Structure 1
Amino acid sequence: MPRGQKNKLCTGEKRHQAQDGTQRQRGAEATAAKEEALPSSASPPFEVLTQRNHAAGSRSALKRPQRALSTTAESAGASRIRSHKGANCQIEKKQGSSQPPVSMMQPAGDPVSETASVLVQFLMHMYRMKRPIMKADMLKFISKKYKKHFTEILRRASFSLEVVFGVDVKEVDPTKHCYVLVSKMELPNNGTIHRGWGFPKTGLLMNLLGVIFLQGNCAAEEKIWEFLNKMKVYAGKRHFIFGEPRKLITQDLVKLKYLEYRQVPGSDPPRCEFLWGPRAHAETSKMKILEFWAKINHTVPSAFQPWYEAALRDEEERAKGTVALQAETDGSSP
């Protein structure tokens, strides 16, 4: 081959390699950006081993959660600051815009799960804004190729919202396909507890109430932290969704009367324990908490014996109390 042609060929190959290297680098950067801006596929936060044996103690039900809450928490909430500066920040700037975040990219791997994760960000934004959500707005987050999977995408997004944040997706107008997000409990500021930027803490609270219930309606503080540590939530270490967890559960939720935190009588050295607070009793029930845990585990409340029986007794007592109160009210009416 003539030297001139050979040199041109070599130059062309080098140029091609350089372009190829640049494309690979850009692809890697895009992937990294996507991983920062978008959550990973949604999956159950943890799975408590179902106890079907009546003789099994409540402690065994909490022995080995198979997945940490952080798995779904990270996927549903993106990554705290990075997500806020990325996809969510784009939404915040528009204040009410239903356009998809600029950082949304073509999902890799399982596109249905990853699109559901992006949808979670949008839904949480609308929840904080206290605005209804239209199906047409949600479809803007879904590429043409996957619009036929809308029902499944919404189902997965709804599951993440429920198990991580304690928020239900409700269709309020089937004709216009209008949805709202409803918190399972009435925590202040849409579940964020403190005003300003933050994620709802309802899901964590419901998990804590579940631990207390399964521990016999009173859980030692070490059992609570043992459970939280398996969810990768540690005392003194700020969590990207829950903030500083020790302050949250021993001060904030106690002050709001969702939890009771007290010293164990006669304990030496002093030990503390958690119980349900009066607002927890008022806003939820043992059966609702059991249903929540059952959904996480993809099972039914009756699989949790003997707590299911305890929850049924609690429902009966609540019903009797409601009837008695109604009779008293009717009797005092003029």
Structure 2
Amino acid sequence: MSQRKRPHNAPSSQSKGARNSMVLLADEDDDVSYTQPSTSQVQKGLDRLTPAQVDLKTAEVVQFIFVKDQKKIPIRRADIVKHVVKEYRNIYPEILKRTSRTFETVFGLSLKEIDSKNHVYILVNKLDPPDGELLSMTPSNPKTGLLFVILGIIFMKGGVVKESMVWNTLKKLRVDPGEKHVDFGDVKKVVIEEFVKQRYLEHVRVPHTEPLEFEFRWGQRADIEVSKVKLLEFMGQLHDQDPQSWSQQYREATTPQASTAPSGPVSQR
């Protein structure tokens, strides 16, 4: 019997993933065209504009960041400059400084840079949430529960875990990545596309593996927003176990560490 051959132009799932990664890299390269203006250039730009013009552009940037943040999508400098700042790019540092000040003083939010290489920002609530809980674990937000489970798996396994282990663990919790879930829909799509895009997770290819293997790690947003103490308490409830019984993880969760995130709001980038 003759076998049906796949058309040469039909992309495999691996090639799709590789192509998506290339698109992401291309998007990040958009920022190469932007050169940070000097202080004197910014001042010259401000001298040519009225205060009302600068305030209006600042308000547009604030609105743009708010819209992105509603979906927890990190905001890239390249997108701010390209889609909002546009012809005002020579005063971008001043606009970003005023934007950051607006979030701080009006909304109680901090605009933090989580990726200094590609200039990527997120909004963080400066006000302490109830009980110190940074991510809401309410039943009305089941996706957050799914995220906490995955972050917990990674944390309990030392900070990095194979993709296959995550799927197998979810199956044991009756969340089968191969089936459509009543709350999450396509589980793999939520995890690999949504959580990774939001920078809660990193999905990293393991080199020199055939077939291809991937690993999950904590993302930059998770490092800022997720309390490891609260996460360990959550895992304790999940397994009906005292969090202190995981001595190594408990020490890591309760030991004060210097944050890798910027200590204050962004001002000049």
Q: Which structure has the greater CA radius of gyration? A: 1
Relative contact order (C-alpha < 8 Å, sep 6+): which is higher? 2
Which one has a larger percent strand, Structure 1 or Structure 2?
Answer: 2
TM-score with structure 1 setting the length? 0.36
